[in-house]
Structure 1
Amino acid sequence: MTIQEASDSKFGRKAIQVGEAQVRILKYAAAMESETVPLEQSMGRYLAESVTAPHPFPAFRRSGMDGYAVVAADTENCREGESVWLKVVDNIPCGAVPSERIVSGTAARIMTGAQVPEGADAVLMLEVTETRELDGIPYVGVRKPIPGGRNITPIGHELKQGEHVLAAGHQIAAGDIAVLAAFGVHAVPVVRRPKVGIFATGSELLDVKEPLQPGKIRNSNSPMLEALVREAGGVPVMLGAIADEIELARSKVQAALENYDLVITTGGVSVGDYDIMGDLVREEAGDMLFNKVAMRPGSVTTAAVRGGKLLLALSGNPGACFVGFQLFARPAIVSMQGASEPFLPEWTVVLGKDYPKVNNYTRFVRARLEVHDGSVYAFPAGIDESSVMVTIKDSDCLIIVPPEERGLPAGSKVRAMILP
């Protein structure tokens, strides 16, 4: 029996696959209740209800040109080289309602985006016309024939009344804001953002404001998790660091679970004498979802549910903490907002350089993307150990290396999770 196998046996660890771990977590990541926010505050939020068009858009026939609204049949004689003169009976700027119906022999001056008058079935470009007055009455001369329907946007061209516009679970982007505004949706139904309590564990941790001390490290994981939670749409609540005292950890975690929608801890999930989160989760085995995942880095990632609330214990190693968040915490947070797609997108990319490591578990390798000759390449980070922090900032994807691979040569096709 190997040292690792002995440790797994002692601590009751049995590795499950990443997909199974995600399924177990998402079972407890149901969407929060809905709330209504002003349109200007809805960017990035997830719709709680589907939106249908309350009216056609555009709601009137719209001119696509500055020019003249005419009866197309009046322009047919232009084919014989003759100008056709039409009496101008109206002038229609944007926002105005036409005052005259257009009949044969008449026209209306019209601006781009203005409402086309009844009777007109085409809009002539200003550039193909000339004007004159006769006895104080304006006329427009047409030098070029125009087919019916030209330069007029019909009612409902973009969306018809009752047509589906946006689905529940859709994350609102700038273009969606424009559509909602066009339909007068000034109060937007969205799913409440989950409040996420964040702890770090470890007596070795210093606050970022503290001077460095022998044997100590500054707590970099908590600020990173705060940013990641915010990026995923959650509301982070920073709860500080917990020393390696299980009674203190128990009371603080319990209080956090009572007050917040999800609790994330970092550190204390390995198999050492002071890894208190692993001990804490094992106290109530029936509540544990898993305490080992067949992945690198972050195999000791642990999850439990207490009182219906998720407790996700991530590795204290920065690289493993980051990967664990993207695989498990982020899907939970966006699912709690009703997201229709909780997982990061995956692309097939070309491996930019050799990856020599042998893997017993699926490995998620930090990497950067580059485009060369129309193909997307992923270049693995030079240093990718779970304890390494610096390469996180240089990565925009995670290469997925299947287990039992004896290294991958440059040029191989690989899957990559695209980071936000």
Structure 2
Amino acid sequence: MRRGRSRYQREAIKVSEAQARIHPYVRAGQTETISLHESHGRYLAEDIYANEHLPHFRRSGMDGFAIRSEDTQGASREQPVLLEVQETVPCGSVPNLPVTSGKATRIMTGAAVPDGADAVIMIEMTTSIEKDGKNYIAISREIEAGQNILPIGDEVTKGTLLLQKGQKINPGVAALLATFGYAKVKVYQQPKVAIFATGSELLDVDEALVPGRIRNSNGHMLAHLLLSAGAKPILHTKLPDNVKQAKKAIIRAFDEADLVISTGGVSVGDYDILVDIFEQWDGQMLFNKVAMRPGSPTTVGVYRDQFLFSLSGNPGACFVGFELFVRPTLWGMQGKSNLELPTFTATLLEDFSKPSPFERYVRGVTSYQDGKVYVKPAGVEKSSVTLTIKDADCLIIIPSGGRGASAGDLVKAISLKE
């Protein structure tokens, strides 16, 4: 097996520098047009403009009566104004009659305000009276023009930019698209991502345990992380412990996938074959060590404009590497313009005294009390531990050095919530 200088002599770069080396190679993918009801979680591939006013008719903001405000001039408890109720307009219907002097129209919230009316008085502010077989309302106060009426274009005027290209479609975005009749939407295609796990110790998930071997949990974790990031995972069988065969499998995967992820085999052990593949392939290696814990051997390269992310085989390190490097890349491939990870400042609830020469990214949980944000480790902080991944909603950033951090310290954290 070939040995190169890069196996043992690696340049450790900061996380921010590693991310900066990735970003120039991130490209938005192809687009497609799909139905609105299939678009949840996808990213818009075009700007969306209002194609009409909202509302496009004068709309009542209350259940009440559409009236002319001038008819209420001088109204008081001692001398109320009587207006004849001429019709009722439910929501979704169109008024048949304009409101003229001395008339009122019963109207529901959201219904079209009839011509001639310039105010809607709440039903609670009126008294119903029947007189000579006709229905009237008594109003005992003056009403201002425009009250409880939403004018045309009050919320949005035609031609307004509603949503920018790269916006993720969530329930609120879907409601807006539906409001303006966008039954079909142009979105970026979901990146297809091939997943490989390395290691002769790995068993398939349905195989029985045997001494010295473990099941391939990273492959399935990555598949679910990819789904959460809007990608389509292609889960492959494990890579053989043969550099030539493994390299061939990875290169072949670029024909079916937009991006390839491997997990394991990136350290400096005798069987860490990804190191040899990066030394032998025709692609460009962007970096092969990051000044972080866990996951410092994380290696990223580009092969014919496609990424190969080689993440640690330890579950915790694999998880952190995905969140720091793969997820932002997938955002960019789906047209998202801002690839910055969402960060926040919080108070550390527990001491974290584990020293590290590198910045540490601790799987954490967030809580709120008395208007303040708190974080604490999700459990035992070891890169080999899987259990804490399920509870983590943030990555707590512990500065490098021998002290760690103490309870009560303000720390920076990366939110894993979307």
TM-score under structure 2 normalisation? 0.95
Q: Would you say 1:261 and 2:261 are equivalent positions?
A: no
Task: Determine which of 297, 305, 308 is the counterpart of 2:305.
Answer: 308
Superposed, which structure 2 residues align to 1:348-387 within 5 Å? Answer: 348-387=345-384
Query: Equivalent of 1:195, from 156, 180, 192?
Result: 192
1:247-396 alignment runs, 5 A limit: 247-284=244-281, 287-396=284-393
Give 1:403's aligned residue: 400
Distance between the aligned counterparts of 1:59 and 1:106, measured in 2? Answer: 25
Q: Which amino acid aligns with 1:182?
A: T
* 1:58-92 per-position Cα deviation (integer Å, ceiling 9, x unaligned): 11111112221111111122126212122333321
Q: For the residues of structure 2 that align with 1:56 and 1:162, how far apart are their CA atoms? A: 8
Structure 1 spans left out of the alignment, 5+ residues:
1-6
Distance 1:126 1:220 in 2: 63
- Indicate the residue corresponding to 1:4 in structure 2: none
| Superposition deviation, residue 10 in structure 1 | 5.0
Secondary structure class of the residue paired with 1:176: helix
Aligned pairs for 1:121-270 within 5 A: 121-133=118-130, 136-270=133-267
Q: Distance in 1 between matches of 2:350 and 2:306?
A: 43
Q: How far, CA to CA, are the matches of 2:282 and 2:407 in structure 1?
A: 44
1:92 aligns with 89
User: Does structure 2 conserve the Cα–Cα contact (< 8 Å) formed by 1:94 and 1:113?
Assistant: yes
Query: Contact (CA 8 Å) 1:8, 1:14: kept in 2 or not?
Result: no
- Distance of 1:237 and 1:285 partners within structure 2: 23
Matched, 1:111 2:108: yes
Output the amino acid matched with 1:283.
Answer: Q
1:27 maps onto 2:24 in alignment: yes
- AA aligned opposite 1:378: V
1:79 aligned counterpart, secondary structure: coil
Cα deviations across residues 320-361 of structure 1 (Å, max 9, x unaligned)?
101000001111111111113323311101111111122211
Residues 287 and 299 in structure 2, CA contact (< 8 A), matched pair in contact too: yes
- 8 A contact 2:60–2:150 mirrored in 1: yes
Segment of structure 1 superposing worse, 87-96 or 46-55: 87-96
DSSP 3-state at the match of 2:383: coil
The TM-score with structure 1 as length reference comes to: 0.94
**Equivalent in the alignment of 1:64:** 61
- Opposite residue 342 of structure 1, the aligned amino acid is L
- Residue 40 of structure 1: which of 27, 37, 40 is its match? 37
Deviations 1:142-178 (A, max 9, x none): 2332111111111111111111211111111111111
Partner SS state of residue 121, structure 2: strand
| Shift of residue 405, structure 1, vs aligned partner | 5.0
Distance 1:284 1:250 in 2: 8
Per-residue deviation at 1:136?
4.5
Residue pair 1:45, 1:233 contacting (<8 A) in 2 also: yes
- 1:338 partner amino acid: G
Structure 1's 285 and 16: CA in aligned 2 closer, same or farther, altered over 3 A?
Answer: farther
Greater mean deviation of Cα atoms: 255-264 or 403-412: 403-412
User: How far apart, in 1, do the equivalents of 2:63 and 2:7 lie?
Assistant: 80
Aligned-residue sequence identity (percent) comes to 50
Q: 1:193 and 1:415 mapped to 2: Cα distance? A: 31
| Alpha-carbon spacing, 1:186–1:286, altered in 2? closer, same or farther (3 Å) | closer
- Quick one: distance in 2 between partners of 1:306 and 1:233? 22
> Aligned-residue CA RMSD in angstroms?
1.8
Q: Count how many residue pairs are aligned between Structure 1 and Structure 2.
A: 415
C-alpha distance in 2, partners of 1:382/1:130? Answer: 65
The letter of the residue matching 1:33 is Q
Judge which range, 53-62 or 367-376, deviates more: 367-376
> Which residue number corresponds to residue 75 of structure 2?
78
SS at match of 1:54: coil
Counterpart secondary structure, 1:212: coil
Q: What is the match of residue 101 of structure 1?
A: 98
Give the conservation status (yes or no) of the 8 Å contact 2:283–2:304: no
